[in-house]
Structure formats: structure tokens, C-alpha cells
Chains A and B, each alone.
Chain A
């Protein structure tokens, strides 16, 4: 049932992405919403906070971020991003459409602390602070009822443990708890941080979701047993002539599962940001106060929806990760044939 539900959910969430408004078409003079939105959801080498004034005399209030670049010839160079502002070049490097390039056209590996990386560091520190506080709560309130932030996160942790890990992985769930909890809270925290004004779109960045998905893939493969591989290379209950096709399908399945994890999280969060930004752009497109009530109403609605999506996507990512791991550590492959049942009762398919 749960598996069915999550498949349904991923369709629903993908359709949100598909309904993303066409941002390319609206090209006003001076204001290009498509460009503005892409700039907001993309990464940057500065943390742009506000623009005061308009046109030529605009003052950009932004935080310069450190540039860390590695050039095979010149080695590592580190300097403030402020030195590259307004198209200036420094140390043989410059920013071209917010992309670090060498003046002589040679290869540059960009390890800069970009807006997303800075946001990543902030969220990492925040998570460490919050959860060590929670952990301290357990030693301080030992034998007593949980208090404060501890009692806020405890039900969530128990939910992840009981409903996600135990149900989908089975008795070996304990080994995977740290990853599941970290992934869940990392995605949730960053989804919420991304909704704050001026914040980075970290969990809607494909590099971030890719790393998370690859980690799930690595953990799944590292904990896979012989039944997992037997299911891929000799799918039970499949007639022999069909096996070559099934092997290809099942083998691709190993990679499409994490790929879907990557795309789903990226698309959902980015789409949410695009929708909110599109509603805000309406004010600038119509250049009228009259449109403000609509903008505010819809923007608020989408923003509140995004609060829900923030935890929902974190949950879906964690749940699917647990399911993939569960499929890899499952002891008897019979249960694989049961789509939509996770009670572990023996299936009735024909013995092979």
C-alpha cells in the first residue's frame, strides 16, 4: 500500500513541476521574470540581499563570499569574491554569468564557497546545534519526560524509526538509522531554510540532490545480499525467454531508483520556488498595485503549501531510501513479488 502511495505521490508531485508557468514568454522591458527566477533558484558567488534603486544607479547590497579556485597550472587560489564584483578580474579569473572562468581560457575547478555552500554550512551548524541539544536533553532529563526542543523532535525521530526504518528495512534497521535521520532532517531543514526570504535554494539544487541520491545508491549496493542480485539477474516467476529483457530492466532499475530520488527532490523544491517567484513577478509584469492582493493570496498559499512539501519531500526521500535498502537486505526474495503489501505474509506466486 505504502509503495503504491509513494508512486502516486511522485506522480502528483511531478505534475506540479509540469505545471510550472512558462517563464520564458513574459519579457518586459527592463524586467525579465524568467531571468530573475533562474537567478534566484540558481547558485551565486555572492549572497545578494537587496537592490536599492533601479537601472544604472542601483545599489546592490550583497555579501561577498570566498572564492576557492583550483587551476591545474597555477594551483589553488583563495580570495574574496568581492574582488570579482561587477565583471572585474582578479588573479587571472573572472565571473562570466556567475561562472568562474580563467582569462586565458584554461580549465578552472571552482570550489568556491558559493551561496549554496554557505547555506549548506549554516544548515550543517544549525543541525549540529539542534540535535546535540536534543541529545543533551536525553542525558539531562534522564528518567523524566522530554522537554522543549527534545519533545518537539522526539515524535519525528520515533516516526522515522518506527514507520520508515522498522517497517521497510526490517530487523536490520538500526544500522541505517543515522543515515535516514540525517537525510530526513537535512532535507527538511534545508527545504525550510530555502523558503526564507533571501535564502539559497539548496535542496532544490541538483548537485545536492545528486549527492544524496548517490549516497542512497551506495548504501543500497553496499548492503545488498544475494537475494537482491538474484532478483535482478534471475527475476523469479519470469519465463526464460523474457529474462534478457528483464535483466536489462531490473539492472537499469538499480540506477533509475536513485535517479528518481534526485529528480523528485530537485524538481519539487525548485518548482515551488519558481511558482512563488512567478506570483511575485506578476506585480512587476503588470506594474500595478491592483494585482497585489492576488499575488499575496496566491504567494501565501503556495508558500504554506511549500511548508507542507518541505516535510513531505523529506519524508518521501527517506521512505524511498528505506524501501530501497529494505529491498537490498531482505532475506527471502518471495516478498519482492508482492507489490503493495508489506506485512511479510508469504506470497502465492508460482515456484520457479
Chain B
């Protein structure tokens, strides 16, 4: 026969079975189920949060990259516009200068022509007046039929006084 401590007692087998199953049932219902559920929930939460953080990081990076690109684009655009503006201003200035020069030249030319014309007219008038005066003087001399050389001289003088080259 086995020693006492090696032979299982019926009573203890019975109680162990009943109490263990009872504990298993009660703990399963009131402890393990809520505990395991809460642990799972928390792990899911943590995992979700981590995934969201990762996603946010990626989005942030994308946003940052986008911003950088936007900034670079803007800078390039500004440079391009500046350059264009400079070129256009230069062109404009050149064109304006050329136009002004041309106009000035034209005005000068016209003025020159006008002066020439006026001069010609003036000369022509001087010539005419001189001719007319000569003719006039000659006519008056002839009309008086001069006998006296003194008188003649006097006359010439008086006429000359009249003439007074204006």
C-alpha cells in the first residue's frame, strides 16, 4: 500500500474539483474577462495612438516638404519676375531714349529749316528794299534835273538822311 501522502484522498479530490471549478468560473467571469479585455483595449489604444503619431509625422513631413517647395517656387518666381521687370525697364528706357533723341533731332532739323527760310526771306526783303531805294533815289534825282552840283549833293545828303537804315 502507498504511504498516506502518496494516495489521493477522495474528499480532497472532491473539494478541489468543486472549489477550483468555482474559482475558475468566478474569476473567469469577474476577473480574467474584464482584465484581459481592458488590457487588449489599452494595447489597441496605444497601437492606434502610435500609428496616428506616425501618420501625423509623415503628414507633417509632407506638409513641410510642400511648404519648402512653395517657398522655393515663390523665390524662383520672384527672381524671374524681377529679372523680367529689369529687362523690360531697360528696354523701355532704351526705347524712350531713342524716341526722345529722334524727336529732338526732328525739332532741331525743323528749327534749322525754319531759320534758313526766315534768313532767306529776310535777305530777299533787304535786297528788294535796297533795290527799291536805289530806284527811288535814282528816280528822284532824275526828276529834279539837277543843275547845281551843290544842290545835288545837298539832295543826296537829305535823302540819305531819310534813308536811315532801319
Could you tell me which A residues sit within 8 Å of B by CB distance?
Answer: 38, 41-43, 68, 97-99, 109-114, 116-117, 120-121, 124, 127-128, 131-132, 134-135, 138-139, 142-143, 154, 157-158, 161, 174, 177-179, 181-182, 186, 205-208, 210-212, 215, 270
Contacts and interface: CB of A to CB of B under 8 A. Distances in A.
B11 A117 contact: yes
Contacts of A186: 20, 23
Interface string B115-131: 00000000000000000
A134 B36 CA distance: 11
Contacts of B13: 207, 210-211
Given A43-B12, A132-B31, A207-B16, A182 B39 contact: no
Contact of A161 (B17, B31, B36): B36
B24 A132 contact: no
A160 to B, nearest CB: 10
Contact of B31 (A42, A97, A131, A174): A131
B32 A178 contact: yes
14 contacts: A38-B5, A120-B16, A128-B23, A128-B30, A131-B30, A131-B31, A131-B35, A135-B35, A138-B39, A143-B45, A161-B39, A182-B28, A205-B5, A212-B16
B50 to A, nearest CB: 16
B10 A131 contact: no
Contacts of A211: 13, 16-17, 20
Interface string B1-39: 001111111111111110110111011101111111011
B17 A112 contact: no
A207 B8 contact: yes
Nearest to A139: B34
Contacts of B23: 124, 127-128, 182, 186
Contacts of A207: 8-9, 12-13, 16
Nearest to A97: B4
